[in-house]
């Protein structure tokens, strides 16, 4: 496993780790060059996360040679006037919070008039390109997923990992060429439950780099294993993805357990009983459990399962592993790590990995609920100094 040893912190320990990390840089007289990527969205959790980050970095008094905040905006989502105004306000707040460290750039991802029906996957690839072009000699890349849509942060995260994780013979280096890649999440389960995502697109969006398993004609006869990572109120999106899953597919739903709400798994089983469990006749023995708020636990569970299926099904000529993350951000990040690692080994092997999503077109949440949010910060370090 790539992340056999890992760095993951929550709550106040995150700021302690930042302070220690940047203080060590100061003491070692290493310059710090930061690229901080966040979403230009309505979710106020990004503000809280950035505020804490800037505070910790400033207090460490490390030498910041350059710092850039990149706000990624999306033009294709439909938001109410209120949420649109909140988005603009958040952008101003984020810029002003980051002023202590450096400047702000905005990148927009969306159709640009000429070809209106450009696919979401193509837009994501273009977005990845735009971000990669902004990376130069940075020592720290921070991806704050708090206010980024799922397909965006998955895409950016996997693109950054592809760039930073280097091949070394038969193994892979997580040193990242000296670049410390962190992912930050501002979690607030209460607020997550209030955000309504509606009007799922009729077209599945394949995360760039993870499409072959579902699209290649030459693989259509390979057996398929589908891992739907279940979360609340995602039935419509699940149905869209299910249309692409063949009859003979092995289906292994993943439920969040352990969880703060002890009944969460049971509630999800009830929510998806008719649409998933009954209609596909999935035995309960196929259900997997992944810790609700420990991404590396989810990573291990899924990677082990995918490796096991890949090994057994190689006898049948090949297999396709399809993962649909519909759960919270932390589990989704863990799942993405597992998919990334499986893909690393895919060359010359008879299997492929796909991550299909049915992306909602519209989000709705009452403003008062947004403003009441008090997120808890979680941090994963995926490459860099800790792995040297």
Contact residues: other proteins, CB under 8 A: 115-119, 121-122, 125-126, 128-129, 132, 155, 158-159, 162, 198-204, 206, 208-212, 214-218, 221, 235-236, 243-247, 274, 278-279, 281, 361-362
Nearest CB to other proteins, comparing residues 9 and 350: 350
* Residue 29 vs 281, nearer CB to other proteins: 281
| Angle of CA points 36, 186, 341, to nearest 5° | 70
Structural tokens at position 346: 């895919």
| DSSP class per residue in 175-230 | SGGG-EEEEEEEE-HHHHHH-EEEEE-SSPEEPTT--HHHH-GGGTTS-EEEEEE-
Strand pairing report for 360-364 and 196-200: antiparallel
Minimum distance from residue 246 beta carbon to other proteins (Å): 4
Instruction: Please identify, using beta-carbon distances, which residue of 105 and 212 lies nearer to other proteins.
Output: 212
Q: How far apart are CA 326 and CA 330, in angstroms?
A: 11
Cβ at position 374, least distance to other proteins in Å: 29
In whole angstroms, how close is the CB of 66 to other proteins at the nearest point?
24
Least gap, CB of 174 to other proteins (angstroms): 18
Phi then psi for residue 50, to 5 deg, are -65, -40
User: Which is nearer to other proteins, 70 or 97 (by Cβ)?
Assistant: 70
Separation between Cα atoms, residue 212 and residue 352, nearest integer Å: 7
Least distance CB 356 / other proteins (angstroms): 11
* C-beta of residue 93 within 8 angstroms of C-beta of residue 48: no
Q: How far is CA 113 from CA 10, 40, 101, 191, 385, in A?
A: 43, 21, 35, 34, 43
Residues 6+ apart with CB under 8 A from 134: 35, 68, 70, 105, 107
Give me the least distance between CB of 206 and other proteins, in Å please.
7
> Would you say 50 or 159 has its CB closer to other proteins?
159
Nearer of residues 48 and 121 to other proteins, judged by Cβ = 121
User: Residue 205 Cβ, how far from other proteins at the closest point, in Å?
Assistant: 9
């Amino acid at each position: 496993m790539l992340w056999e040893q890992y760095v993951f912190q929550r709550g106040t320990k995150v700021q302690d780790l930042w302070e220690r990390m940047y203080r060590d840089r100061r003491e070692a007289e290493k310059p710090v060059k930061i690229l901080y990527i966040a979403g230009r969205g309505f979710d106020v959790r990004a503000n809280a996360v950035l505020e804490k980050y800037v505070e910790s970095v400033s207090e460490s008094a490390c030498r910041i040679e350059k710092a850039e905040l990149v706000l990624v905006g999306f033009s294709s989502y439909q938001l109410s006037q209120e949420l649109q105004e909140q988005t603009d306000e958040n952008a101003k707040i984020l810029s002003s919070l980051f002023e202590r460290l450096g400047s702000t750039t905005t990148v927009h991802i969306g159709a640009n008039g000429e070809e209106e029906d450009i696919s979401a996957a193509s837009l994501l690839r273009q977005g990845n390109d735009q971000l990669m072009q902004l990376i130069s000699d940075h020592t720290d890349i921070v991806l704050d997923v708090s206010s980024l849509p799922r397909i965006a942060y998955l895409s950016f995260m996997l693109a950054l990992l592809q760039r930073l994780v280097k091949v070394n013979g038969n193994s892979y280096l997580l040193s990242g060429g000296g670049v410390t890649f962190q992912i930050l999440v501002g979690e607030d389960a209460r607020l997550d439950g209030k955000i309504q995502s509606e009007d799922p697109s009729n077209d599945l969006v394949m995360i760039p780099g993870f499409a072959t398993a579902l699209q290649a004609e030459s693989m259509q006869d390979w057996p398929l294993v589908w891992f739907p990572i279940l979360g609340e109120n995602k039935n419509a999106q699940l149905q869209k993805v299910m249309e692409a899953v063949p009859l003979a597919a092995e289906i292994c739903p993943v439920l969040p357990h352990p969880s703060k709400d002890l009944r969460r798994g049971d509630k999800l089983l009830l929510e998806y009983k008719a649409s998933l469990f009954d209609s596909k006749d999935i035995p309960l023995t196929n259900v997997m459990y992944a810790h609700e708020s420990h991404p590396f636990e989810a990573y291990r569970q899924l990677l082990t399962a995918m490796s096991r299926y890949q090994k057994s099904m190689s006898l049948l000529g090949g297999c396709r592993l399809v993962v649909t993350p519909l759960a919270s951000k932390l589990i989704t990040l863990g799942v993405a790590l597992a998919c990334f690692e499986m893909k690393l080994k895919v060359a010359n092997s008879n299997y492929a990995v796909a991550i299909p999503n049915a992306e909602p077109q519209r989000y709705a949440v009452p403003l008062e609920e947004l403003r009441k949010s008090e997120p808890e910060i979680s941090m994963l370090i995926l490459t860099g100094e800790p792995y040297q």
